[in-house]
Structure 1
Amino acid sequence: MGHLDLALWLICKASPELATVVSRYLFVDIRSLQAPYIIPNHLAQADPLVLRFERWARDHLKAGFSLQAGFSLQEAASSLATSACTLQRRCKAVLGKSPLSYFQDLRVEHAQPLLHDSGLDLDAIAAEVGYADGATLRTLLRQRLGRGVRYLRAELR
């Protein structure tokens, strides 16, 4: 499924709406059992609430989302005019993960090119993706990618 993930990701960069149409023509199975194997951004397109959450999360990540407070499920749900339980349940059903886990995935996704291209130190990259310090980002990268920062920087060069 990697080729579909890549194709949908590239299309989504140009037009999220076009990516939705293309995914329908590809007949990608979006059942929750398949969630770990399909691009999360594509899955978000399958549910209007999850799509709104994905957009909200990306907007708040770029805005340097509340470094002191961290991710707040209640704040996200309120912004989307839904309950925290509903948001939690829908993300789990569609994405196969919690809203917090998805938000952390977005942070990792945003941090990876910064490790390669920016020349910033880890604390600056952490601040860019919404963490107060580099130690938290270092731990998250190791958990999600199975590699340390030094290895990731070397791998990307």
Structure 2
Amino acid sequence: MQRVERVVVLALDGVYPFELGIPSRILGAARGRYEVLTCTVDGRPVRTNADFSVTVEHGPEVIGTADTVIITSMPEDRIPERLPEPVAAALARIPAHARVVSICTGAFVLAAAGLLDGRRATTHWHVAERFRRAFPRVTLDPDVLFVEDGRFLTSAGAASGVDICLHLVRQDHGSAVANFVARCCVVPPFREGGQAQYIVRPVPEYSAASTAATRAWALERLGEPLTLAGLAAHARMSLRTFARRFNDEVGLSPGRWLIQQRVARARDLLESSDLTVDQIAAEVGFATGASLRQHLQAAIGVSPQAYRRTFQTAR
């Protein structure tokens, strides 16, 4: 019989309704694999940042029964840097084995509780400097969509809550289930790049040209040698223009993006096929199995064999 993971979402004062609904919507599409409960620190209704409040069915006691606890976000003017006692008491109920996840500014809550000390984390790029000043013991990476450090996972602004919930599904049940959930919710199973592409920067000179068609072209040819010159030629741009425009659109250099896509494709093949590591390396465009091992280790910290054992078992 399939085990159902209990996920408890803690809604704090000023919660954004959009982010509050993400766990239920994404995890709820996983065909009964998750039970998502929403609570507040006292079981009473909580104000949102919109013109309404939300009424929940649960108080903080359900946190003690959770396999995963998710802290959602609130506006910048309601971010706590010292935890109110009821919030601290609610967080103290988190079981020692539970995963702890934050969406957007929810990372401030975890950091204020000391749960992120000595760990890597992320939050919305707009409040990154404030976070660094308030929590110097946390290593902040403001350029990524989410960070996983042990049982603590933090995500960037707003819709990155979708990315991190899909990551939970992929981690628990493999890419096939995560892709199914993504299709049901009409969202991409992976988003390209990181937060860097959303950070406000000077508007570039207008041009109708885009690298999107070239990215799509490259994704169909990951097993082939793909060079910057070849990509720029396909886009009909100079090397310099292509590299600049690519980084503006994706938030990554073409080389880093290619590695990211090849690793993602390799992960899918490790889960869904019986190809050897060397065969998968050739299929996705890494020169050797050793190169695939190196890039996978750098990306997610495990070997291809360990990854396959974990996710083929989940499948």
Counterpart residue identity of residue 247, structure 2: K
Match of 1:51 in 2: 212
1:32 counterpart = 2:198: yes
Write out per-residue CA displacement over residues 31-83 of structure 1, whole angstroms, 9 at most, x where no aligned residue: 5338xxxxxxxxxxxx962311211211221xx313xxxx3101110011011
CA RMSD across the alignment: 2.8
Counterpart residue identity of residue 65, structure 1: E
Match of 2:280 in 1: 125
**Distance in 2 between residues matched to 1:30 and 1:102, nearest whole Å:** 13
Stretches of structure 2 that go unaligned for 5 or more consecutive residues are: 1-159, 167-178, 189-194, 201-207
Instruction: Give TM-score, length-normalised by structure 2.
Output: 0.35
Q: Any idea what SS the aligned residue of 2:221 has?
A: helix
* 1:114-153 map, 5 Å: 114-153=269-308
Q: Is the 8 A contact 1:32 1:93 kept in 2?
A: no
* 1:28-107 map, 5 Å: 31-33=197-199, 49-61=210-222, 64-66=223-225, 71-107=226-262
Counterpart residue identity of residue 98, structure 1: S
**Distance in 1 between residues matched to 2:293 and 2:253, nearest whole Å:** 21
Counterpart residue identity of residue 199, structure 2: L
Counterpart residue identity of residue 57, structure 1: A
**Distance in 2 between residues matched to 1:151 and 1:134, nearest whole Å:** 14
- Distance verdict in 2 for CA 1:2–1:57, change over 3 Å: farther
- Distance verdict in 2 for CA 1:153–1:87, change over 3 Å: same
Higher RCO, Cα 8 Å, sep 6+ = 1
Identity of aligned residues (%): 30
Q: Is the 8 A contact 2:232 2:242 kept in 1?
A: yes
Q: Which has the higher strand share?
A: 2
Q: Which has the higher helix share?
A: 1
**Distance in 1 between residues matched to 2:240 and 2:307, nearest whole Å:** 36
Q: Any idea what SS the aligned residue of 1:49 has?
A: coil
Write out per-residue CA displacement over residues 83-122 of structure 1, whole angstroms, 9 at most, x where no aligned residue: 1111111122222210011111110111112112211110
Write out per-residue CA displacement over residues 6-25 of structure 1, whole angstroms, 9 at most, x where no aligned residue: 59953367xxxxxxxxxxxx
Instruction: Give TM-score, length-normalised by structure 1.
Output: 0.67
**Distance in 1 between residues matched to 2:288 and 2:187, nearest whole Å:** 31
Q: Any idea what SS the aligned residue of 2:237 has?
A: coil
Stretches of structure 1 that go unaligned for 5 or more consecutive residues are: 14-28, 35-46
Match of 2:268 in 1: 113
Q: Any idea what SS the aligned residue of 2:220 has?
A: helix
- Distance verdict in 2 for CA 1:123–1:3, change over 3 Å: same
Counterpart residue identity of residue 301, structure 2: G
